[in-house]
Structure formats: C-alpha cells, structure tokens
Homo-oligomer: A and B are copies of this chain.
Amino acid sequence: MTPAPAPTAMPLRQALRVAEGPITLLGYDPASKPLSPGSKSKALKELASTGAVLASQQEMLYANGASGDPRRVLLVLQGTDTSGKDGVVRHVVGQVGPAGVSITSFKRPTAEEAAHHFLWRIRRALPAAGMIGVFNRSHYEDVLVTRVHQSIDGPAWAERIADINAFERQLSDSGTVLVKCFLHISYSEQRKRLLARLDDPSKLWKFNPADIEERAYWSDYQSAYAAAIAATSTEAAPWHIVPSDSKWYRNWAVSQLLRDALLGLELSYPPADFDVEAARARLRPPF
C-alpha cells in the first residue's frame, strides 16, 4: 500500500477559489504560484504522478457510471486567447484514458445554435454519467463577448447570469461536479505568446488577426470576466482563478483541482452484480 499524500495545510481549491463579493482581476497576480511545488521540474514530476491518479480515478468513475451511478465531472476552461486552454486539454486531460473524456470546444455559435436559447448547445454537450466532460470555452462566452461588445443590455446580461446559476445548480443537484477554471494571464504575457505563434510555422494556423482586434478590448474583457466570475461563483459551482503566466504552474494547478474533485467523490469499484464463482465454473476448459 502506498501511503496517502500528506494533506496540505490549505488545499489548492481554497487557495485559488475566488473571493466572495465583487472582484477585480487586478487583485489576482497572473505570475503568482500559490502552493506551487517550488520548481518547474518538481511540478512536472507531480503532474505525471497526478496524471496516474487522474487515470485510475477516471476508470473508477466510468465503471460506476456503467453500473448506474449518475455522477460525472465537468471541467470548464475559460480565459483569453493564448491563456492555455488547449495546453490544459493536452497536458492535463491527455493523461486520462481518452474513451472516458468528452471534450467540446465552443466556437462562435452556428446559425442553428444562435436560433436557440444560449444554453441549448451547452446542454447537448454535457458529459454522460461516468464521464469527465471538458468545455474549452463554454456558456460563459455568452456573458463575456456580448457584454464587451454590448450586444446585450444590462437586464439581459443579468437574466443570463441567473440562467447560468440555475443551470449549474441543476447540474450539481443531479450529480455533476463542476470544476470551473479561469486561466489568468497578463497583457504582456499575451503579447509574448501571440508573437511566439507568429515565429512558429507549426503555430501560425492558430493565429487569427482578429485576435489582435480583440486585444484592444483587453480591459473590457477583464472587467467582464470579473463581473461574470463574481456573479457565478456559487457553493455548487465555485470559480478558481488559476494564475497562468507560467505554463507549468497552470498545468500543475488544474491537474490538482481535477484530482481533488475526483477524490472528493470517494469512488471505489462497483461490486459484481452476478455470481462470480458460477461464472468462473462455466469458463472451465473445454468451454
């Protein structure tokens, strides 16, 4: 038996949990590293060992789902362009058996999607029982872009926020554990990463000149994120602000948050619902 990991004085999920009440993102340093293991090499080591825990927990979650347990996990990733949503999917979620994960990247709504309530496409992408769902962008886009570009007014925004809170409460009540992460980077880090994309022929396809236009609205986006996060960080579905100027810290932190969510389910393998001895007997040679 391997000993259980030593409990941290303050779990990461508390350290990164957004404060109650109105917030400004200026109060959260994107270069900070709360509860960091101390160095990149240590963090990568912990990321790998946490990956093994994620993989075995996911198998157990799946096994329980196949046996009627309604529980599932939903990781919601938000953040500005280049904040590292794809990187988290690759380096954290990629450690888990791919059949147990359903990943949805939400783009600009299609005509069909736009003709429905903004949660319509979200509901269709929810993970099934036993699955880990990952939203790369999410319903939060509908209270961010819209607010920055003023395509909805204040009351409409507030109504969407209320819709989101009711929706997430329903999810939580029916067995979905939500892990909501805002990947927080600085203005200058975004410049650095956009320039790096321009320098790398294998990254050019990810670059969209329109992202530069959006960058002009940086402060508006930061305010919109702060307002949305403050208004939707509930007991059922709290927000975590993950400082993400450091990629290794970001990956380490999200993997810890996801692991803690899974461990919180206190999973074990479901017992056999059939007579194991009888099955064994029937498989005796020559059968």
With contacts A67-B205, A269-B205, A272-B204 taken as known, whether A195 is within 8 angstroms of B280 at the C-beta atoms is yes
Write the chain B residue with the least CB distance to A274.
B209
B269 touching A204, Cβ below 8 Å: yes
Q: Determine the chain B residues whose CB is within 8 A of the CB of A42 once the complex forms.
A: none
A153-171 vs B, Cβ < 8 Å mask (1 yes, 0 no): 0000000000000000000
Cα–Cα distance between A188 and B287 once the two chains are bound (Å)? 9
Task: Among B59, B99, B201, point to the contact of A103 (Cβ < 8 A).
Answer: B99
Which secondary structure characterizes the binding site on chain A? helix
Task: Among B98, B205, B272, B279, point to the contact of A89 (Cβ < 8 A).
Answer: B98
Q: Determine the chain B residues whose CB is within 8 A of the CB of A272 once the complex forms.
A: 204-205, 207
Kindly identify, within residues 107 to 127 of chain A, every residue whose CB is under 8 Å from any CB belonging to chain B. Answer: none
B98 touching A276, Cβ below 8 Å: no
A202 within 8 A of B: yes
A-B contact pairs, 13 of them (CB 8 A): A59-B202, A89-B99, A90-B99, A94-B94, A94-B97, A98-B98, A99-B136, A191-B287, A198-B276, A198-B280, A204-B269, A204-B276, A209-B279
Write the chain B residue with the least CB distance to A199.
B280
Q: Determine the chain B residues whose CB is within 8 A of the CB of A279 once the complex forms.
A: 194, 198, 207, 209, 212
Write the chain B residue with the least CB distance to A136.
B99
Interface residues of A (CB under 8 A from B): 59-60, 63-64, 66-67, 86, 89-90, 93-94, 96-99, 101, 103, 105, 136, 188, 191, 194-195, 198, 201-202, 204-207, 209, 212, 215, 269-272, 274, 276, 279-280, 282-283, 285, 287
A191 touching B99, Cβ below 8 Å: no
Q: Determine the chain B residues whose CB is within 8 A of the CB of A269 once the complex forms.
A: 201-202, 204-205
Known: A191-B283, A198-B276. 17 other contacts (CB 8 A): A59-B202, A89-B98, A94-B97, A94-B98, A96-B98, A98-B101, A98-B103, A99-B103, A99-B105, A188-B285, A194-B279, A198-B279, A202-B269, A204-B271, A205-B272, A207-B272, A212-B282
Cα–Cα distance between A60 and B272 once the two chains are bound (Å)? 44
